[in-house]
Amino acid sequence: MLTYFLRRALYTVPIALGVSIVCFALIHLAPGDPLSAVMPEGASQEVVAELRAAYGFDKSLPVQYLTWLRRVLTGDFGYSIMTRRPVLGEVAPAVVNSLILAAAAILIGFLTGLMLGLIAGYNNGTMLDRVVTSVAVTGVSVPHYWLGMVLIVIFAVNLGALPAMGMGTSGSADFAMDWESLRHLILPAISLSVIPAGIIARSVRGTVAEVRKQDFMQTLYAKGLPPRRIFVHVIKNAAPTVLAIMGLQLAQLLGGSILVETVFSWPGTGLLLNTAIFTRDLPILQGTILVLAMFFVFTNLIVDLIQSAFDPRIKRS
């Protein structure tokens, strides 16, 4: 068990390094000078050289990467070109806000997905199964940013029941656990939850139907086990596959919230990225993507470890 844990954890190191290289390369992929946003109009050669040296752009790429990596590892993500404030100071609160939204969406999406998937899987081939499956396909296909707009039209424009913008009263960027903040959370969380709900419903349905076809199910029924106990067996056998899908969705959600955050002006990583892109604030862009990607890498690690705890067969392969 421990060997598998260690091996899997060690495997994360090269992936994390690779991710950091991609994030580092992003800045150099950008057309034009990365300093163009701060460079004064018609700057002289000396000013340009001075600025390049100040930001470390005059060194060779490997040297730049190693310097950057060393700084990042100590929590120094550089400074925003626009606000001149530390990148981490801008990214951290945004990540927290995105996590709040993601957590709410996951709660809604996972519960709905699980419930729909179980209903369909238990009634495989019936009319109910077909209805649930079409609901799930709709969830997977819907452009979530558009769904957000539709929800705004219904609940904010027509009914005036829920707020359409921001995170709390008077556009504050701090989430308080009060009714007002929760009201702001409802619409974006629902928009963000439909895709994971659809994907999870489909995978739970498939897995549950598959498990219920296995020979041991006949045995369980034959020996007179009550349905409640049989249900536990179904869950235990379906769990590894479903957990894997859920873990992937959790991380996809955090990355995918960019669009929904834009629709609802939610002050999370999406909004930060959007601003960074249009002001060409590359350090912020790089920092946000690095943090989100690392989050993704570690979620995958944790999911794999949890999965192997459920299903000992995985460790052997």
Partner 1 sequence: MPNLALDDLRAPPTGLRPRSRSFWQTVGRRLARDPVTLTCAAVLLLILLAAIFAPLIAPHDPYRTSMARRLLAVGDHRHWLGTDELGRDLLSRLIYGGRMSLFMGFMPVVLATIIGGTLGVIAGYAGGALNMAIMRLFDIFYAFPSVLLAVAISGVLGAGLVNSLVSLTLVFIPPVARVAESVTTQIRNQDYVEAARATGAASWRIVTGHVLSNVTGPILIYASSLISVSIVIASGLSFLGLGVVPPEPEWGLMLNTLRQAIYIAPLNAILPGVMIFITSMCSNLISDGLRGAMDVKV
Q: Which CB sits closer to partner 1, 159 or 177?
A: 159
Contact between 227 and partner 1 by CB under 8 A: the answer reads no
Q: Which CB sits closer to partner 1, 132 or 292?
A: 292
Q: Which of 94, 185, 208, 293 binds partner 1 (CB under 8 A)?
A: 293
Q: SS in 3 state form for 271-299?
A: HHHHHHHHCCCHHHHHHHHHHHHHHHHHH
Q: Which of 197, 245, 292, 303 binds partner 1 (CB under 8 A)?
A: 292
Q: Which stretch binds partner 1 (CB under 8 A): 75-83, 173-181, 221-229, 293-301?
A: 293-301
Q: Which helix (H) or strand (E) holds 87?
A: helix 87-122
Q: Which of 4, 5, 8, 30 binds partner 1 (CB under 8 A)?
A: 30
CA separation for the pair 248, 233 (Å, rounded): 24
Contact between 181 and partner 1 by CB under 8 A: the answer reads no
**CA dist 49 to 56, 59, 78, 280, Å?**
10, 12, 19, 20
Q: Which stretch binds partner 1 (CB under 8 A): 60-68, 69-77, 220-228, 291-299?
A: 291-299
Name the minimum Å distance from CB 189 to partner 1. Answer: 17
CA separation for the pair 168, 185 (Å, rounded): 9
Contact between 170 and partner 1 by CB under 8 A: the answer reads no
Q: Which CB sits closer to partner 1, 137 or 176?
A: 137
CA separation for the pair 159, 151 (Å, rounded): 10
Q: Which CB sits closer to partner 1, 114 or 195?
A: 195
Binding to partner 1 (CB under 8 A) within 94-153 occurs at: 137-138, 140-147, 149-150, 152-153
CA separation for the pair 274, 258 (Å, rounded): 8
Amino acid letter for position 77: F
Q: Which stretch binds partner 1 (CB under 8 A): 11-19, 51-59, 93-101, 103-111?
A: 11-19
Name the minimum Å distance from CB 60 to partner 1. Answer: 21
CA separation for the pair 116, 77 (Å, rounded): 43
Binding to partner 1 (CB under 8 A) within 253-272 occurs at: 253-256, 258-259, 262-263
CA separation for the pair 33, 113 (Å, rounded): 46
Using an 8 Å Cβ cutoff, are 117 and 110 in contact? no
Contact between 64 and partner 1 by CB under 8 A: the answer reads no
Write the DSSP symbol of residue 68.
H
Long-range contacts (CB closer than 8 Å, 24 or more residues apart) made by 30-38: 30/280, 30/282, 34/282, 35/81, 36/280, 37/81, 37/82, 37/279, 37/280, 37/281, 37/282, 38/81
Residues that bind partner 1 (CB under 8 A): 14-16, 18-19, 21-22, 26-27, 29-31, 137-138, 140-147, 149-150, 152-153, 157-158, 251-256, 258-259, 262-263, 273-274, 276-278, 282, 285, 289, 292-293, 296-297, 300
